[in-house]
Amino acid sequence: MLVNLKSIAAQNAAKKIWAIGALRTMSTPTTNTGSRKNIVLVDGVRSPFLLSGTSYSKLMPHELARHALLSLLRKTKVEKELVDYITYGSVIQEVKTSNIAREAALAAGFSDKTPAHTVTMACISSNAAITTGMGLIATGTYDTIVAGGVEFMSDVPIRFSRKMRSLMMRASKAKTMGQRLSLLSTFRPSFLAPELPAVAEFSSGETMGHSADRLAAAFNVSRKEQDDYALRSHTLAKEAEEKGYFTDLVPFKVSGVDGLISKDNGIRVSSRDKLAKLKPAFVKPHGSITAANASFLTDGASACLVMTEEKAKQLGLKPKAYLREFTYVSQDPVDQLLLGPAYGIPKLLKKAGLTLKDIDTWEVHEAFAGQIIANIKALESDWWCKTYLGLNEKYGAPDMSKFNNWGGSLSIGHPFAATGVRLCMHTANRLVREDGKLGVVAACAAGGQGVAMLIERYPGATAN
């Protein structure tokens, strides 16, 4: 097992540096929260998550974000004037609304005196928005933060080629007809080839799907394992939807679209036979990642209210959860691009003085079924944990009976910058419905990064 990774590690002298770095991160002392302010997740909402190119296709991203922000205010009954600061995530940004946090806030009717800024950290952007808010609260700068994120893949910015952009810029500065004609003579039809944004690593040029396929192969994750996991995700999401568990979802009436959009439209329970017939999507013809066991391009927005426990009590609010701990990790973006959870979970639990057995719910972002299984196998591998985490033996994997029990990004959808809030809300609501105390959120992200967060059920919390 792990033949490819062992070969890479054997040939790479930097392996020693990895191990030393891991030992350093694993030595973080247990956090003492005694002198800290208690920070609470009051509530959160999201739009229905839709496949790109469907019912949201004629909107702009700030309109989706506006819906999430207004829905949050309606659900919590908090006045706009009480919000001190807004931090909001976005990955593929609309150039007209580059600081979408500010534009969405103004569109939602927030005061022009309420500061807002946009964060971007790939698939963990709304996690970054939440933890940025936690930092602002922990320093005493603010008491009440709105955090969230939006992604709109139905209309991504497509640029002219660099040569064409250069020509146009120089043409705009030309003062005479002769100068303009001289520039025109340099034009070539190839200049018109557009540049499309790609879900690929700038540092390596490799698409995330291709990297996921290599990761699955390195950990000997079979096609059947991936298809079975994808079927599990869709089946559990469908069951949760039918039971009315997605209470964070707020229906959206879109102008020009018939009816009310009230459900995620990517949940599709298929059969193993149908899944097995699909062809590889990235590494052809022998890859194992397909359209069915990978997350799909999604439009959606989310928002949540974060504040001090003291402020929540003053306002008469009943929070969902305490936001207890978080950590970010980074690793090799070439061979370990999607292993953020395997690095982040041990680091987070070490920091909090907890073990795997202490965790009642797990919500881990499903970029690909192969990525999920590879992370689990990494944590179950003596060799990997010794080599990359500096441990004496395997760390162990989460209890799968507590893992993504309402489905995940494979089925519900994955608007890059909105998923983090969904993960936190599903954790908080699952803790209530499953009578748990502690939950972990974990996710990988482009750039070889990742996040892990610890959430504790608030006394008297409901799953409404």
Nearest in space to 153 (alpha carbons), one of 416, 422, 367, 446: 416
Instruction: Look at the chain and report how many structural domains it folds into.
Output: 1
Residue 420 placed within a domain: yes
Residue 22 binned pLDDT confidence (cut-offs 50, 70, 90): very low
Whether 25 has a pLDDT exceeding 90, the answer reads: no
Question: Tokens 């700030």 — which residue?
Answer: 62
Q: Which of 304, 385, 424, 444 is catalytic?
A: 444
Residue 61 binned pLDDT confidence (cut-offs 50, 70, 90): very high
Residue 293 placed within a domain: yes
444 is catalytic: yes
Q: φ, ψ for residue 139 (rounded to 5)?
A: -85, -5
Question: Which pLDDT does position 200 carry in this prediction?
Answer: 85
How large is the average pLDDT for residues 121-142? 98
Lowest average pLDDT, out of 12-16, 113-117, 376-380, goes to 12-16
Total residues found in the chain within this entry: 464
On average, the pLDDT of the chain sits at 93
Parent domain of 145: 39-157+202-457
Question: Which pLDDT does position 5 carry in this prediction?
Answer: 54
Residue 36 binned pLDDT confidence (cut-offs 50, 70, 90): confident
Question: Which pLDDT does position 327 carry in this prediction?
Answer: 98
CB atoms under 10 Å from CB of 95, counted, come to 7
Residue 105 placed within a domain: yes
Question: Which pLDDT does position 7 carry in this prediction?
Answer: 53
Q: Among residues of the chain, what percentage have pLDDT more than 90?
A: 91
Q: Which of 123, 304, 385, 424 is catalytic?
A: 123
Residue 132 placed within a domain: yes
Nearest in space to 386 (alpha carbons), one of 73, 112, 107, 16: 16
Residue 291 placed within a domain: yes
Question: Which pLDDT does position 267 carry in this prediction?
Answer: 98
Question: Which pLDDT does position 6 carry in this prediction?
Answer: 54
CATH code of 228's domain = 3.40.47.10
The residue type found at 6 is K
Whether 318 has a pLDDT exceeding 50, the answer reads: yes
Question: Which pLDDT does position 20 carry in this prediction?
Answer: 35
Question: Which pLDDT does position 29 carry in this prediction?
Answer: 35
Residue 312 binned pLDDT confidence (cut-offs 50, 70, 90): very high
Separation of alpha carbons 332 and 376, rounded Å: 18
Question: Which pLDDT does position 425 carry in this prediction?
Answer: 99
Whether 376 has a pLDDT exceeding 50, the answer reads: yes
Question: Which pLDDT does position 34 carry in this prediction?
Answer: 53
How large is the average pLDDT for residues 336-340? 98
Question: Which pLDDT does position 198 carry in this prediction?
Answer: 76
Residue 353 placed within a domain: yes
CB-neighbour burial class of residue 115 (10 A; exposed 0-12, middle 13-18, buried 19+): middle
Whether 241 has a pLDDT exceeding 60, the answer reads: yes
Q: Which residues contact 309 (CB under 8 A, 6 or more apart)?
A: 37, 38, 39, 40, 319, 322
Nearest in space to 168 (alpha carbons), one of 178, 158, 160: 160
Q: Would you call 53 helix, strand, or coil by DSSP?
A: coil
Question: Which pLDDT does position 1 carry in this prediction?
Answer: 45
Residue 4 placed within a domain: no
DSSP string, 90-145: -SS--GGGSSHHHHHHHHTT--TTS-EEEE-BTBTHHHHHHHHHHHHHHTTS-SEE
Residue 223 placed within a domain: yes
Whether 10 has a pLDDT exceeding 80, the answer reads: no
Which helix (H) or strand (E) segment holds residue 313: the answer is helix 309-315
Which helix (H) or strand (E) segment holds residue 442: the answer is strand 438-445
Question: Which pLDDT does position 2 carry in this prediction?
Answer: 53
Question: Which pLDDT does position 83 carry in this prediction?
Answer: 98
pLDDT in tens, 397-432: 999 999 999 999 999 999 999 999 999 999 999 999
Lowest average pLDDT, out of 16-25, 168-177, 446-455, goes to 16-25
The 3-class SS string of 185-250 reads CCCCHHHHCCECCCCECCCCCCEHHHHHHHHHHHCCCCHHHHHHHHHHHHHHHHHHHHCCCCCCEC
Angle at 185 between CA 179 and CA 189, to 5 degrees: 135
Question: Tokens 């309402």 — which residue?
Answer: 406
